[in-house]
Structure 1
Amino acid sequence: MENGTQSNTRDHISVPIVDGGIGLEALENTMRAKLCPASPSWDAKCCIFRVPQVLKRHKREAYEPDFVSIGPFHHGGKQFQHMENVKQWYLNNLLSRRTNVTLKNLIDCVFQLEKSAREFYAEPLDHLSQNDLVEMMILDGCFVIELFRKYPSDAEHVDGNDPIFRMDCMFQYLCHDLLLLENQVPWFVLQHLYNLTLDPEPDKYSPSLTILMLTAFTSQKPLNHNCYSYLGNLIAFEQCYHHHSHEITSYAFLMNKLVASSKDMEILCEKRIIDNWLSAEDGANYFSKLCNDTVLNKFYYDELCAQVKMHYQIKWYR
């Protein structure tokens, strides 16, 4: 402003204009190269998942292995190195005992299964070469099979120096790890390895692989921290696998309704309905934690709950 008069002059900012032709064309090409022509969803065969973080955050240790890595998701962890040595020892003992099968037989078998096995995992395994994945599945698969062949620990071919069966607690710890959703190899790979390494003697009884596994896993277990892991991983599987119904999730929701307080837990334990190794309060919170952040598409106990409610409303039975 000069001499009491207002200036009509305005300040201007100069904005450089980038040459749109080359710059925008380069951006278009870059974006086009990133577009996905196919759905990023996993293969229809996929059934081995990483537990979603929304579920894992409530109790991470219930979903991750402590002692042994099986499959690619936790492969190579330093804390599992001792068990990697045990796997190598188990495989060597297996090949020494089964003179009808060679390491080359195992490699040839799993090599044919490798491509299909990749499709069972919910994320790409690009970090593992074909040879790496074949080696991992042979070591992990034969370890699992041999472990359950040796159970119970008085089995005829248990070595006195076996580091697993020399510790009373180790087999139970390994069972925890082997039931984790993230810690798996495809069942069909185990089945092929099992069939290939059967006892060659025709009169020697060999249970099926399913029976072998169930023998170890179906013993009655009380309500404890390991039980949370078993149910939690089954629920995580139901949450991830779109072909599966929600029976286990429904069970957790039912028990969460039934056990609303520590007093409820005490009554159920007194009546021997639940065998609880936790405190009454922790036992009461057990099922509510399992239900956190889960989605229930269909409650399988709707009819049962309706019948119980109707029964309760009849004064004669009160």
Structure 2
Amino acid sequence: MDTQGSISNENKTDQLEDFALLIEMAELPQDSSVKDHCIYRVPQKVRHIKEAAYTPRVVSIGPFHHGEERLILMEKLKLGYLKSFLQGTGLTLDKCMSKLKEWEPMIRNCYAESIQLDSDPFLKMILIDAAFIIELFLRYYDVGNWIQSDPLFLKPWLAEDVAHDLILLENQLPFCVLNGLFKLATADIITGDFPSFLNLTFTYFADLNSQKIQPDSVSVKHFTDLLRVFYLPPVERLPKRSDVNNILDHLYSANELVEAGVKFKVDKTKKCFLELQYNNGVLTMPRLDVSDRTEFHLRNIVAFEQAQFPHETYITDYLKVLDFLIDDERDVNVLIHRGIITTLLGDSNEVATMINCLCSNLIQPNMNLEYLTICRQLKEFYEKPVNKWKAGMIHDYFDTPVKIATSIAAMVLLILTAIQTVCTVIPLVNSN
């Protein structure tokens, strides 16, 4: 009797039954829960291009980087802020934890992956991080009284790194949790002069709010979302969108467009750099200030757009157009000389590399309709025969100092040859 074969068949049957049970128990995420997600890990295909752009330098906020050894040093400071927060507001630890317990399903559902922490350690982490942020913002709002005593304000480099870390997509708490805990802490404050948590947030991030947007009608999911709001035009000025089409298969760079006769002009009246305009061969663009910080901000906003707003990628749209305009340092120089780009980076080539890498590995099912129209008009302008001929002439004979010198020398030689020929022919004609 083949006992071994019988046991083997039984094992296979058990494995199939287990597999069938696993399939039976499987469930796809419900639409309602997926819609609540707003905090994501950056996809590896994007993250690997520049890890540092998505990774906190000194402080972890939320679960994604919690417990990382290099960030442990800040945990002691966060506990000190929690103690100060509780003492200053009169809240008890029990009351905070009880309220967070009520919110726990909502908090967990804000993260786009299951958080492998039990309830108690998860809520303690949320409380420590939330209290740290609220206390930090309160101290910053009253910075004159804290500048000589707060551990962060005494080390400007550390305060700068903390501010940097607070806007990273992977380093977020839901804004509603911060706001809810702040309201709990200030429920007994009667004076109407006390700021809302949104006002505190706008004060802390004031240097990023170049458009001077007011907090009155702003609703945000977290600080990365707020950063995106700072970059967008008002909702009523957001253009319609359209499917990406073959217009984007090939577009001409800034240097090529200039050779064809396109004029680039800076618009000094607009604070939102997304608002491009094209009219009769003139492309008008607001100024873009480029620095290391610009890259970190844009990378996190783009990652957030890809996950949260795949059909409203307004920042990504702009970077896509900029990517088309910029192939190398010559294109960057065109935009710098017109005042459209200012840069604190090392050189024009570094700016070109940064812009070209920002759009790597991104998916874009649709695009800002105004940008698509501008791209089509620029392409049509360049491809007019006379403009294309002009661009070809400039590219072939006048786009480098050596070519210019060579072309001028050839023309001078041609003129001199013509003069010599005329001078030779005239006496012959007169003699006849």
Give the alignment partner of residue 108 of structure 1, picking from 98, 116, 130.
98
Between structures 1 and 2, the one with greater helix share: 2
Confirm or deny: 8 A CA contact 1:246 1:297 kept in the other structure.
no
1:304 alignment counterpart = 374
User: Where do 5+ consecutive residues of structure 2 fail to align?
Assistant: 211-288, 391-432
Residue 107 (structure 1) shift: 1.4
Where in structure 2 are the equivalents of 1:131-210 lying within 5 Å? 131-151=120-140, 154-156=143-145, 158=146, 160-198=148-186, 200-203=188-191, 205-210=193-198
Find the counterpart in structure 2 of residue 269 from structure 1: 336
Partner of 1:10: none
The reply to whether residue 47 of structure 1 matches residue 41 of structure 2 is no
1:118 is aligned, of 105, 108, 113, to 108
Q: Greater shift after overlay, 280-289 or 171-180?
A: 171-180
Q: Report the secondary structure of 2:183's partner residue.
A: helix
Between stretches 206-215 and 135-144, larger displacement belongs to 206-215
The residue type equivalent to 1:237 in the other structure is F
5+ residue gaps in structure 1? 1-14
Encode CA deviations 1:93-127: one digit per residue, 9 max, x unaligned. Answer: 1222223x2222211211110111111111111x3
Q: Which has the higher strand share?
A: 2
Gap change, CA 1:272 and 1:147, over 3 Å in 2: farther
CA distance in 1, matches of 2:358, 2:118: 37
How big is the shift at 1:245? 1.6
TM-score between the two structures when normalised by the length of structure 2? 0.63
Per-residue deviation, 1:85:
0.8
Corresponding residue to 1:34 among 22, 35, 49: 22
Q: Secondary structure at the match of 2:342?
A: coil
Q: Greater Rg, structure 1 or structure 2?
A: 2
Q: Is the 8 A contact 1:153 1:165 kept in 2?
A: no
SS at match of 1:71: coil
What residue number does 2:318 align with?
Answer: 251
1:282 pairs, out of 336, 350, 359, with: 350
Q: Matched residues in 2 for 1:236 and 1:64: separation?
A: 13
Q: Matched residue of 2:156: which SS?
A: coil
Q: Does 1:217 align with 2:205?
A: yes
Give the aligned CA root-mean-square deviation in angstroms: 2.8
Residues of 2 paired with 1:257 and 1:152: CA distance? 42
Task: State the shift of 1:260 in Å.
Answer: 2.3
Residue 131 of structure 2 aligns with an amino acid whose one-letter code is: C
